Structure 1
Amino acid sequence: MTTLFATRLYRAALSAHAPAVDTTELLATCLSVAEDDEAGQDWCEANGYPGYTSYASLTDLPWRFPIFADLVRSLDAHVAAFAEDLAFDLGGKALALEDIWINVLPEGGIHTGHIHPHSAISGTLYVALPSGTSPIRFEDPRLPMMMAAPPRKQDAPADLQTFHTARPEVGDVLLWESWLRHEVPMNIAEEDRVSVSFNYGWN
């Protein structure tokens, strides 16, 4: 039996690559930014976005905050390792950070299914995951072509499931190719779920 067209999901502790980043300090920074970023708050309210994201308001977090600059240096190494695992032929060019943003998802908040167009690698670092918080769920990219396919058994191997739910821990980095559709189901925890998401491109 041969497995074809594998979809890879990278998971590692942020601490696997230097420099060291204190997630407690990073959490405090994220919450402080969320509290002070009026433009981001206004965008979230105008667009019905649950909680807070800096995606549409702050494009220079690594310049503003040294801890984000350290974080990007660590993420650069994680992304390079993932690119090697994917056997990417980058033609001598490194994948480079395009965007990095903060997400604060309150109780009842969701992020509906989406992809990240125009990027090569996307990912998330998990900063606060209260008990009962949402996981992240990935969708088989072939799903639109499976009109007449029977459903998978509930105990099917992970690589044959139509959806894959990942339950990271604080300090974990998840990386995936940007075309992979994903979502965050409703957060049923009473406290905020906090993460930092990012895109890398090949230019």
Structure 2
Amino acid sequence: MSGQDEVVGLFPTPVMRAPGVLPPALVDALVTHFSAQALQPNNSSDALSHTRMLQPSDSPLLVEAAALITPKIAEFGRHLFGETLGWAIKEMWVNVLDTGGRQSMHNHANSFASGVVYLTETHDSARTVFMKSPGGNDFSLKNDHAGVVTGPYNAEKWVSPSPSPGDLMLFPSYLMHAVPPNAGERRITLALNAIPTRLDSWGYSLSFNG
């Protein structure tokens, strides 16, 4: 008697959703304090601006936020590296996306884990989209027409669920992502990059300073 066929999903990419990581009072304080400081323009859109790169120590509000976010990064990092490691948030910044604004496809250099905390309501049109890296190991020819059923093995992008203020999304820094044109009201997020404090590969160790 033959066994049952099995499809094995090899080497999946982890993306972690953590609802309500920041409490409403802290979310409101971050919006009030940092939205006015988001003065640096972005090449993607005239309706997108951000603050300078910040360290958690730059503000008591960021210290409080980092204390709540870092344990989630350690939990997420266990999926990346197979071990619960120490982690440090190396930089944080606030993005302000007004109506009509967008963020082009990009990833984050010089880090291992990246994240975004949603500080305002997000219109369905401006949910974060994660994409396969262009020029990857896919077939050169595609089967793409109205009758194709999209699944985890042939999809080219994944649209994240609608977040609420205070929700955190974590992903590997290499993962390509973008924000489509915002058809709703102002969207404010707190983005971050993080690194493990130490990696050990059979005695060859690397230590990082956050």
TM-score range, shorter chain: 0.7 to 0.9
Deviation of the 1:68 alpha carbon: 1.6
Tell me the distance in 2 between the aligned counterparts of 1:154 and 1:197.
Answer: 35
Equivalent residue, structure 2, for 1:104? 96
* Structure 2 counterpart SS, 1:29: helix
Tell me the distance in 1 between the aligned counterparts of 2:41 and 2:31.
Answer: 16
**CA-to-aligned-CA distance 1:164-184 (integer Å, 9 cap, x gap):** 000222221111100000000
2:11 corresponds to which letter in structure 1? F
1:27 partnered with 2:28: yes
**TM-score, structure 1 as length reference:** 0.80
**Alignment root-mean-square deviation, CA:** 2.6
**CA-to-aligned-CA distance 1:91-138 (integer Å, 9 cap, x gap):** xx5221111110110000000000101110001011102544510101
Tell me the distance in 1 between the aligned counterparts of 2:65 and 2:178.
Answer: 24
More strand by share: 2
Gaps of 5+ in 1: 16-20
Q: Contact 1:79/1:175 (CA < 8 Å) preserved in 2?
A: yes
Matches within 5 A, 1:160-179: 160-167=154-161, 168-179=163-174
Equivalent residue, structure 1, for 2:179? 184
Q: Contact 1:27/1:194 (CA < 8 Å) preserved in 2?
A: no
More helix by share: 1
Gaps of 5+ in 2: 1-6, 197-207
Q: Contact 1:143/1:162 (CA < 8 Å) preserved in 2?
A: no
**TM-score, structure 2 as length reference:** 0.77
Deviation of the 1:30 alpha carbon: 2.6
Determine which of 50, 56, 76 is the counterpart of 1:82: 76
1:125 partnered with 2:122: no
- How many residue pairs get aligned? The number is 188
> Which runs of at least 4 in structure 1 moved beyond 4 Å after TM superposition?
45-49, 130-133
Q: Bigger radius of gyration, 1 or 2?
A: 2
Q: Contact 2:125/2:180 (CA < 8 Å) preserved in 1?
A: no
Equivalent residue, structure 2, for 1:149? 142
2:93 corresponds to which letter in structure 1? W
Equivalent residue, structure 1, for 2:190? 196
